[in-house]
Structure 1
Amino acid sequence: MPETPKTAEAHGTAFHGPSFHGKVAVVTGAGTGIGRTSARAFAARGATVVVADVDAGSAAETVELIEKDGGTASAVTVDVTDSASVAAMVDTAVARHGGLHIAHNNAGILAALGPLGDVDEGQWHAQLAVNVTGVMLAMKYEIRHMREHGGGVIVNAASNIGGHIRYPGMGAYAATKAAVSALTRVAALDHIKDGIRINAVSPGAANTRMSLMPGETEADRAARFSDVIPLGRIAETHEIVGSVLWLASDASSFVVGHDLVTDGGASA
């Protein structure tokens, strides 16, 4: 059954807002959640999208959804913690589609929960590898292509947790996302003269699997955030992606090195 306008917008596929016709966009972590909505939204607005994820099956599902929406996409399996894998992702995007103009470096994990004295060191290192090194490697190879081909736009996934607010038991996650925010700002200054605009989005809690704590139901999650977020609810993924689209578009052409908090007022 075709999507209604309401459900299409919930997936970020309703066609309004900026156009990305003629652009090639890479989205990491695009197999689920915000990444999937981002990939569908870019495709709905005319971009050719490279759906990159460590899970080949979920990436293929996102491509199928995009094609059902009438968009153009292809899947790439990538491990963002591995330099060769990330380089191959960029090379594949360029070889298949003729260039790379936009990147949404969205891949991330939530691990190493609990007070610092109890944090599992293996989970700590895994979270650093995905959330920080993964963003650094993605930018490294995206920038190398973009600066040789007239520039581009990069939007990284930070978080309101870390650079903006803190929650007990989430020190490891907060550290990684604060690092992404800082890395984004410095990279933006390093490469604006190369014609590359780099910014970040800091989402608050959104309706994704990652925002569910172990054993928590959606009702439990809603109750947990009802008093924390001034809007009284968590975000739908298209509400986060709206900020991504704006930063990736010409509408934000004078925005450089910014971390756009999109959290319903939680960090106000």
Structure 2
Amino acid sequence: MLLENKTAVIYGGGGSIGGAMARAFAAEGARVFLAGRTPGKLDTVAAEIRRDGGLAETAIVDALDEAAVNGWVDSIAAQAGSIDVSVNLISQDALFVPLLDMPVADFGQAMDKVARSFLLTAKAAARHMVKQGSGVILHFGGSHPTNSTPGLGTVQIGCDLVEAMRRQWACELGQHSVRVISMRTGGIPEGMPDLPEMEPYKQKMVDATLLKRAATLDDVGRVAVFLASEHARTLTSTQVNMSCGAFVD
């Protein structure tokens, strides 16, 4: 198993992406700890993992609360013996408003959530990873400097902020053998609401790819497992493009 005896913490573990990663990590031998704000969703993912023979625990944690994040991660490290993988899947407060029309306070609040959650969760994991001399911090939803689009408001800027933090974290943590990587898709139709009005948007995602198919949740889980494993030990400070060619590097 690629992640046997590894410990993975996932913020936003009850969502479609978080659940896909959690199930994939557990299937490869990792013990997963899921954090979020909706107990029902977290419990559903954990129950699926346990049903299949995996190990999963849940906790209600506010990723903007420094004491709560540090306390949760410290308790996991004490219980499991290490923090091997940390994934932040906290969603942005997306504002699809042109910057010219965007209230400064709203912009600041949206950026503050992104910056604080990614800084707090990375710091909590990095403290333990530096001591143990290993670990992977994984981000999801990277950006591309040539793909800015009118109307995205805070979304593209938030992704760019995460990528800047990924580069800085990788630079600072590399000497401790801690890797920092981000993943980017061109959208995952499977993870979107199954509503008639959403079908045109799902099809646009597929049509925009070179492979004429979009990444699936299973694809996300498989790639995440690879990146968290020793098979990817040469990868850090990089963005993994799994957009099926929607974004050309």
TM-score, with structure 1 as normaliser: 0.84
Kept after mapping to 1: 8 A contact 2:37/2:60 = yes
Question: Residue 170 of structure 2 corresponds to which residue in structure 1?
Answer: 188
Give how far 1:216 is off: 7.0
Q: Residues 65-87 of structure 1, C-alpha deviation per residue, up to 9 Å, x if partnerless? A: 11111100100212112211211
1:21 is aligned to 2:4 = yes
Question: Residue 242 of structure 1 corresponds to which residue in structure 2?
Answer: 222
TM-score, with structure 2 as normaliser: 0.89
Residues 124 and 232 of structure 1: CA distance in aligned 2, closer, same or farther (over 3 Å): farther
Give how far 1:120 is off: 5.4
Give how far 1:243 is off: 2.3
Rounded Cα–Cα distance in structure 2 between residues aligned with 1:122 and 1:78 = 26
Q: Which amino acid aligns with 2:19?
A: R
Q: Residues 129-166 of structure 1, C-alpha deviation per residue, up to 9 Å, x if partnerless? A: 34332111111110011111232111112334x54522
Residues 237 and 126 of structure 1: CA distance in aligned 2, closer, same or farther (over 3 Å): farther
1:90 is aligned to 2:73 = yes
Give how far 1:30 is off: 0.9
Q: Residues 148-201 of structure 1, C-alpha deviation per residue, up to 9 Å, x if partnerless? A: 1232111112334x5452232113111111111111111111011112111111
Q: Which amino acid aligns with 1:117?
A: L
Q: Which amino acid aligns with 2:245?
A: G
Residues 159 and 208 of structure 1: CA distance in aligned 2, closer, same or farther (over 3 Å): farther
Rounded Cα–Cα distance in structure 1 between residues aligned with 2:32 and 2:12 = 13
Shift >6 Å, 4+ stretches: none
Instruction: Report SS of the residue matched to 2:189.
Output: coil
Picking from 138, 145, 155, the partner of 1:155 is 138
Picking from 50, 60, 70, the partner of 1:67 is 50
Q: Which amino acid aligns with 1:41?
A: A
Q: Which amino acid aligns with 2:75?
A: T
Instruction: Report SS of the residue matched to 1:25.
Output: strand
Rounded Cα–Cα distance in structure 1 between residues aligned with 2:38 and 2:168 = 30
Give how far 1:122 is off: 5.7
Residues 168 and 81 of structure 1: CA distance in aligned 2, closer, same or farther (over 3 Å): same
Of all paired residues, the percent bearing the same amino acid is 26
Q: Which moved more, 1:73-82 or 1:89-98?
A: 89-98
Residues 124 and 49 of structure 1: CA distance in aligned 2, closer, same or farther (over 3 Å): same
